[in-house]
Structure formats: C-alpha cells, structure tokens
Structure 1
Amino acid sequence: MESRKQRHQHEIKAAEALDATQNSTSNNPFAGPIGGGRGPHKKRSKKSKWLTAFLAVIVVVGFVLVIKALFTDNNAALNPQDTTFKTVKINDGSTAMQMGQTLENKKIIKSAKAFYKYAMSQGAEKLQAGTYHLSPSQTIQLIYQQMVSGPTAEPSLPKGYVMVSVGQSASQVAKNVSDKVKNVSEQSVLTALNDKKLIAKMYQKYPDLLRGVNQSDTQDAKLLDYIYPQAFNLTNAKNASDVVETMLKTSDTTMQPYYKTLKSNGLATPNVMALIATSGKSEFERRLAFVKKIAPYAQELSKKYGILASVSIAQAAHESNWDNSKLSSKYNNFYGVKTQDTTPGKSVVLDTTEYVDGKPETQQARFAVYDSWKDSMREHAETIVNGNSWNPNQFKDVLAAKNYKQAAKALYDDHYATDVNYTKLLINVIETWNMQKYDK
C-alpha cells in the first residue's frame, strides 16, 4: 500500500502533466485557419454574407470565453456574500484531489482542481483530516490555511470579517469585533447589544427576526440572541451600532427561509438558530416533523394517564436523539426502557451511557423491543402512573406537577434519570420546540 507521501508525489507528477497538457493547447487559442482562402469575387451572395457573419460571431464568442477563462480566479471565494458555515468531514487518507472534490460537492469552493493545484504548490502533506466548519465566503487559500491548522482551529476569514460561533458570550463577541474593527471598543459593542433605542430600531426593520425580543428573559446583550452564528463582513462598519446593525441585517437574510415555519409553529428565532447553524435545514425539518408526528398521541395519553404531553414528547425526543438512535429507529424504544425479558424478539442488549457519581460511563444493558412507537409511548405513560414493582408511587411527583418545569424536576428527583442535567435538558427541549402548547 502506498504511503501518504508517495500518493502526494504521484499527485505532483499528475499536476505537472496536467499543466503541460494545458500549456500545449492554450498558448495559441486561435491557432489554425477558420476557413480556406478564396479568390476575389466582384459580387458576394447573400449566403456567403450570412456565413461570414456567423463565423464572425463564433470568433467573438470564442474570444470572450477565452478572456473570461484567463481572468477567472478559481481560488477566489465561491460566494463572498454567503458567510454561513457548513460542516464538512474530510476522511482519513483522503488525497488533496479527494479533499477538493468533497469541498466542491459541498458547494464550498468553485473548483476541486483549483484546490488540488494550490494544495500541491503549498504542501498537500500538511492537510489534516477531520470535521471542519467552512464557508463559501472563504478563499481556497484561507481554507487551505484552516485545514493545515487542523479541525480544532478557528475558521480563517478574510480581512475585516468577524466570526460569531455557537455558544459565544457577549464578551467574546465584543472582543473579536474590537480586534478586527478599527476604533470600535469591546465596551461599545456590549452597550450596543443592549441599547433600548437600537433594539426598537432593529425591531422595526426586522420584525420577523426579532419577534419576541421585548418579552425576552435575557438581561444583558439582548440583541446577541438574534445574531446568527456565522461570519460577518464588517469592513464598512464605523462604530458599534454599525457592527450590530450589519450583523442583524445579515442574520435576517440567513433566516428568511425559516420565518413562515417558525411563526406557524410558535417557535422563537433564537431557540433554533444554533441547530440550523450546526446541523442545517434538513435536521431542523426532521425534528419538527418528529414533534408533529407524536404530539397527537401524546395528547391522547395525557387525557388517559395524566402525564403532561410536553413532557412525554420531550422525553421521547431527548432519549431517542430525535428518533435517530438505534434503539429508537430499529426497536421502537423511545425512552430507553430496560427489561429483564429474554424472550426472543422482546429485548436487545446494547451499549448505554449511565451516570455514576455525576460522571458518564459506558455500560451494556438489556432494552425492551416494541412492535410500534405507540406501544413505547403507552408503556412509558403506564410506568409513570404505576411506578415499578418495588415502589408503585415512585413517580407521583411527576403526575402531581402542574407544569412542565415542575414535571421535569420531578423526573430527576424521583430517579427516572441519572443525569444531573436532565431537568435542564428537558426544559430546554420543551421551550425550544414550543411543546408546552400541547398541554393546553
């Protein structure tokens, strides 16, 4: 098997051969006669005139295409205006050409060949495999620089661009801005993010983006909640207000395709921004479809057993990783229910994560297998109502809860889950997807 270095040597030779071929054919793009010579004529026919005109058009079009090809920079950004980032996985053992093809397929760069040639000229062996966050606004040079630094490195951006990442605090964002934008201080950015007059002005301009900003629980830097995690071109910003306005304007453009869905489902913009930014539109739509699929049955169970529908839905989503776990998608077990039943087809042994003294441990356990997801939801409700063989009242606090926050706390207190963050996680899922509306 060839080593990585040997593969790169083959690529270098291939690149040289490619250049040689291109040079031999492109040095004289107009070489060769267009048509044979003809003797003088006193009078040319209409057919001859039309043919001459047609050939002239071909020459002009060909000239334009050649000039365009000569002056097109395939190393430039695919779309300088699209500053959103996509998750791109570069597999171990990928060659520079394979990496370039992955980037082209993901619509990050213009040309795989351009990436390949640039990487070969700079040192393709320096490129590292891994999962990257890359943007169509990045040039090939910047993408190469980022992939040389490795998947944990911050994205390499053009001059004057500032990145806002998922989970960044207001202080971190303000510092990044002050480092990149002349005459703008950290404190001025922090002040602008919570300026009441600016909030009112931005709400008038972008009401769909800032829907609910006036009812927000955030005490400081309110406008940061409505800034989409992406890069922003701040080359024309002169002060902190310009910075914040530019960020919100760009975020509004990014979120436009989602407003109708968010409004019809009562979803707040800040709650889903991180998901869309990290997992994309398809995952957002998949999760929303999952909620809508099981919500009606959760309401039926709520009427029959008394468990809040929002809690039933949220637990199913969280425990099954949104119906994306093997236990859920293959065995219809939404809630991670364990069993001692060894009857063939009634159980399966799988790895699971348990928390021991607050620390996660991977263990093996036997889980129940259900004929349908409705069977799983029904048994979950019955378990909350009937408890278990040694304590039939184990989940009485869950049933007594008057709202989803009380119920989420009771599930942990009554030892349904071992994760110390279970209550917080459940409440976040419910509020992000407005599941509490199914309790009415």
Structure 2
Amino acid sequence: MQSRKERHQHEIKNAELNDGKNYKNKRPNKNKWVRKKRNLLLVLLLIIVIIGGAVFGGKMLLPDKNAALDPSDTRFRSVTISSGSTPQQMGQQLEKAKIIKDADYFYKYVSKHGAQNLQAGDYVLSPSQTIPLIVSQLSEGPTAEPKLSKGYILVRVGDSNDTIINKINKQTDISSEKLKAAFDKKSVIKQMSKQYPELLKGIDGTTGDEKLLNYVFPAAYNLNKDKTADEVVNTMLSGTDKLMQPYYSVMKKDGLKAPGIIAILAVSGKAEFEHRRAFIKKIAPYAEQLQKKYGILASISIAQAAHESNWDDSDLSSKYNNFYGVKSEDKDNSVVLSTKEYVDGKETTQKARFAVYDSWKDSMLQHTQLLLKGTDWNADQYKDVIKAKNYKQAAQALYDNHYATDINYTKLLTDLIETWNLQRYDK
C-alpha cells in the first residue's frame, strides 16, 4: 500500500503533467499566424494588381487624342489652310479634310504648344501624321518637308533612287548596299512580279533600266515592321499596288506601263491623267487617217500636238485650235501671243503671230502639210522626218531639221510616246 505521502507526490506529478498538456494546447500556433500573414499580403498584392490593371487598362481603352487618324493611311493630300484662320478653324479644316480625328484635340494641343506659330498656306498632309507632327509642319510653313513618325519614309516626286535608298537606310538601319541589291536582285524581281503582276507587267530584271524603284509611287511608307531589305521592297510595292489598283484596267487596255503613269498621277493627279487620255482618244483616229494618206507617223502627230498645246490647255490651242504653235503672217487669220523660244540653249519669251484655225482637224492637217512641203525657204526642210521608219528616228529628225529649238525636244517626244504607248497607232 502507498502511504499518504507517496499518493500525494503521485498526484502532484499527475497535476504537473496535466498542466503541461494544457499549456501546450493553449500555446499560440506559430504556423497558423504565418499563414494568416501570408494570406493578408497576397490579398494586398492582388488589390494592387487590380488597381494597376484598371489604370493601365483605362489608358489602353481611352484614345490617344494626339494620335494619327490612321497610321496605315500614308497617302498625302493637299490641304489649304486659309489666310486669317484661327487655330480652331485650322483644326476644323484638317478634320474636314480627314487628316485629323478631332478639331478640338488639335485646338487644345496648339493652345499649349504655340498657336501663334501656325501659318496659313498650301500643305501636303497625311492621316498617318500625329497632331504634334502636323503642328510642327504648320509652324514651319508651307515649304516645310512633311513631318513623319519614326520608321516612316516619304518618297517625293523627283527623288533619285539613291535619295530613296538613303531615306530607307536612316529609318531602318538596313545598309544601303543590301537595299540596292534587294531592289535590283533578279530573284526579288521575279518574286515581286508574281505578287504584283499588274504593277510589274513587262519588267524582267534583265535590263539595267528596269529598276523596282522606278515602280514605287511617290508616297509615305511605314517600314517599322520591316527587318530585312526584301521586306522593305515588298512593303513599298504593296503600297504602290494599292494606289494603282484603279488604273490597271486602263493600263491593260491601252498597253501602258506603270512608271510613266505613276509619274503623271504623282505630279498632276487623276483628273489630269483622265484629261490627257481623253485628248489622245479624241485626236488619234484622225492622226491615223493622216498617216494612211500622207505617211506622217500618227505617234508623232499626236505627241507633238500634246506637247505643243500642253494637252490642249494653252490659249493658242483651246481658243484658236492651233495645236502645233504654227506661226502666220496672215493678219486676218492670226493672233499675237507670247511664246517661249530657245536661243543658244537658253529660254526666252517673245511675241509672235500665230495661225488661227476653224477646227483642230484643220490644225492637224496644216501640220502634216508643213512637214510634207517644208518652209517657204526650204521645201525639203523636213525630209528626214518624212523618211523616218519609226518614232525615234522621226523625233530626232524634227530637232535635226530645226522644227524646234529646245535641245530636249527629241527626248520629250519619245518619252511622251512611250509613256502613252502612242506607237500603237503607227501600225
């Protein structure tokens, strides 16, 4: 039997053991607190992400008020900013011309960045330009080079191939050597001809004169996505192809090549292209009749009429039916007008008396008679023109036989004939 003392000691031990267990059960759980703290941090982080996303998403959803109307529309349009226009009116003119998104955006921008610097005048602008770029251009004045964003280039009328290559090089960092090689490479020409057969009809890459750069429309091009020279070639020809789509049916019907038509459209526009084509269609049948009867090449008759009359836009042509600038001493059937002549290769303006005709057909007939019968002082003056077997020989003979004093006359005629495929009327 246990004594009281022993029992007492045993109870004390049991009590101590029980107290230890109870203490352990009541002690804070460290892992649970860590989990709570971690969960709290995750919630805070999630809140921050949601708020940040909302702000960023809001910026993405809200439009950039100063962004370009259409970054992909790189066509340039003529826009006249009227003299005396306020910044608000300028913005309205630009919005109406579909160059910018909103006139109010334009006004708010210029109000902060110098509205007093804006100048009136005739500008060439594009929907691919941002408002800051447009404002910069308007501040420099009508003669300023169009402003473009990084990665864009502007091919202008009259730019040489080397100038275009240098512009591309500056915006893409692709070497000039690689660019030149790509535009002239036979394999690239072959591939591009498959992709754009109507644009590149007639080019085979075997002659030095047929360069792909000659088929590039003077316009702006976005080269930001292009990493290689071949991609640049494709981008520029793709843009040209889109611009030329409305003219392919006419080119096919008349046998025209793209470079000449591109030059006319870029310089003079669609209306002038249609005007010139209509002029050719009007006089070509009669030129063919004169060729059959008298032997003067129809292409020469048409080309001279177009060149001498400025496509029937000169006063002498439109008012007096004189296509060829034929002079006359008959005071009853003539008119005195200013004319440009070349003396020792230099252009001068003089007064002269020109023949007046009842109809344009009379003018063409008289021109044919002049070539056949010569002048009063030399009946055989144009004998080489009459003997010519093709338009190139005839054009050279006109200068050699002193029909014209302009040293560039032969090239002007041959270029005009080839651009409009006028030789087709010589058959």
State the TM-score bracket (shorter-chain normalisation).
0.7 to 0.9
Equivalent position of 2:280 in the other structure: 291
Asked if the contact 1:87/1:278 (under 8 Å) is kept, the reply is: no
Aligned to 2:180: 190
- Does the CA-based 8 Å contact 1:341-1:347 persist in structure 2? yes
The answer for the alignment partner of 2:371 in structure 1 is: 384
Find the residue that maps to 1:267 and give its secondary structure: coil
2:190 counterpart of 1:200: yes
Q: Deviations over 1:414-434 (max 9, x none)?
A: 111111111111100000000
> Given the alignment, which residue of 237, 240, 247 partners 2:236?
247
Q: Is the 8 A contact 1:86 1:278 kept in 2?
A: no
- Report the CA distance between 1:334 and its aligned residue: 1.1
Distance 1:299 1:322, change over 3 A: same
Deviation at 1:130, TM superposition (A): 4.4
Structure 1: 5+ residue stretches without partners: 1-66
Say which is worse superposed, 81-90 or 333-342, in terms of deviation. Answer: 81-90
CA-to-aligned-CA distance 1:45-94 (integer Å, 9 cap, x gap): xxxxxxxxxxxxxxxxxxxxxx9xx9566654333222122344556666
The match for 1:139 among 126, 130, 134 is 130
Separation in 2 of the partners of 1:332 and 1:105? 41
Deviations 1:223-250 (A, max 9, x none): 1112111111110011111111111111
C-alpha spacing 1:420/1:99, structure 2 compared with 1 (3 Å): farther
Q: Residue 152 of structure 2 contacts residue 223 of structure 2 at CA under 8 Å; is this kept in 1? A: yes
Residue in 2 that maps onto 1:397: 384
User: How do 1:35-54 residues align onto structure 2 when only pairs under 5 Å count?
Assistant: none
> Contact 1:164–1:173 at 8 Å: present in 2 too?
yes
Instruction: Single out whichever of 428-437 and 195-204 deviates more from structure 2.
Output: 195-204
Q: Provide the C-alpha distance between the structure 1 equivalents of 2:393 and 2:201, rounded to a whole number of angstroms.
A: 27
SS at match of 2:184: coil
1:218–1:129 distance in 2 versus 1, CA, 3 Å: farther
Partners of 1:174 and 1:187 within 8 A in 2: no
The residue identity in structure 1 corresponding to 2:398 is L
Task: Describe the SS at the equivalent of 1:193.
Answer: helix
Higher mean C-alpha displacement, 300-309 vs 97-106: 97-106
Q: What residue number does 2:8 align with?
A: none
1:177 equivalent in structure 2? 168
Matched, 1:214 2:214: no
User: Given that residues 184 and 205 in structure 2 are in contact (C-alpha distance below 8 angstroms), is that contact kept between their aligned partners in structure 1?
Assistant: no
Deviation per CA, 1:355-413, whole angstroms, max 9, x where unpaired? 12111112222222222111111111111111111111111111111110111111111
Moved more, 142-151 or 300-309: 142-151
Matched residue type, 1:337: V
State the match for 1:350 in structure 2. 337
Please give the alpha-carbon distance, in whole angstroms, between the structure 2 residues aligned to 1:255 and 1:117.
38
Give the distance between the partners of 2:74 and 2:325, measured in 1 at CA. 39
User: Does the aligned pair in 2 maintain the 1:332–1:369 contact within 8 Å?
Assistant: yes
Give the whole-Å Cα distance in 2 for the aligned partners of 1:284 and 1:73: 39
Counterpart of 2:296 in structure 1 is 307
Partner of 1:272: 261
Equivalent of 2:358, from 364, 367, 371?
371
Structure 2 SS opposite 1:158: coil
Pair member with larger Rg: 2
Match of 1:430 in 2: 417
Q: Which moved more, 1:378-387 or 1:93-102?
A: 93-102
How many angstroms apart in 2 are the aligned matches of 1:172 and 1:320? 33
Q: How does 1:84-123 map onto structure 2 within 5 Å?
A: 84-90=75-81, 96=87, 99-100=90-91, 102-111=93-102, 115=106, 118-119=109-110, 121-123=112-114
* Distance change (3 Å), C-alpha of 1:75 and 1:356: farther
Q: Which range moves more in the overlay, 147-156 or 316-325?
A: 147-156
CA deviation vs aligned residue, 1:66-124 (integer Å, no higher than 9, x gap)? x9xx9566654333222122344556666555655554454434455655554555444
Q: Output the CA distance in 2 between the equivalents of 1:319 and 1:272.
A: 20
| Percent of matched pairs sharing the same residue | 58
Contact 1:87-1:133 at 8 Å conserved across structures? yes
For 1:25, the equivalent position in structure 2 comes to none
Asked whether 1:155 is paired with 2:153, we answer no
Q: Secondary structure at the match of 2:231?
A: helix
Match in the other structure for 2:402: 415
Contact 2:372-2:383 at 8 Å conserved across structures: yes
Query: Letter of the aligned partner of 1:263 in structure 2?
Result: K
Gaps of 5+ in 2: 1-57
Q: Is the 8 A contact 2:69 2:101 kept in 1?
A: yes
